[in-house]
């Protein structure tokens, strides 16, 4: 399935996905069939990567930093300082601790 993201064009990715879904359904393995149905339902969204090749990785990293700060700040009452720390994440190239 990872090979989907290595295809050189949207057309080739679409063909790869169709072939993968057909093979999964033909396998008769219940979980693969269920997964192939999910892939089929989200086909347009999966293939839109080839129109807009962006990743949510940076956003997920920021969310993880906020959750870490939130755990470290458990019990603190100063929400304004916490907001400032969150805003400072975008100005730093390293993980904020403390």
For 28-67, the pLDDT digits (tens) are 999 999 999 999 999 999 999 999 888 888 888 888 988 8
- Name the nearest CA neighbour of 36 among 45, 44, 26: 26
Give the CA diameter of the chain: 58
Q: For the chain, which residues make up each domain, given as ranges?
A: 2-50, 57-89
This model's pTM is above 0.85? no
Distance CA 55, CA 67 (A): 20
| Contacts for 36 with CB less than 8 Å, ≥ 6 apart | 20, 21, 24, 25
């Amino acid at each position: 399935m990872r090979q989907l993201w290595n295809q050189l064009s949207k057309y080739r990715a679409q063909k790869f996905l169709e072939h993968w879904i057909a093979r999964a359904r033909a396998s008769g393995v219940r979980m693969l069939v269920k997964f192939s149905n999910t892939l089929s339902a989200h086909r347009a969204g999966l293939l839109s990567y080839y129109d807009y090749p962006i990743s949510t990785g940076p956003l997920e990293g920021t969310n993880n930093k906020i959750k870490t700060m939130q755990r470290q700040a458990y019990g603190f009452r100063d929400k304004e300082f916490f907001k400032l720390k969150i805003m400072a994440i975008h100005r730093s190239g390293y993980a904020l601790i403390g």
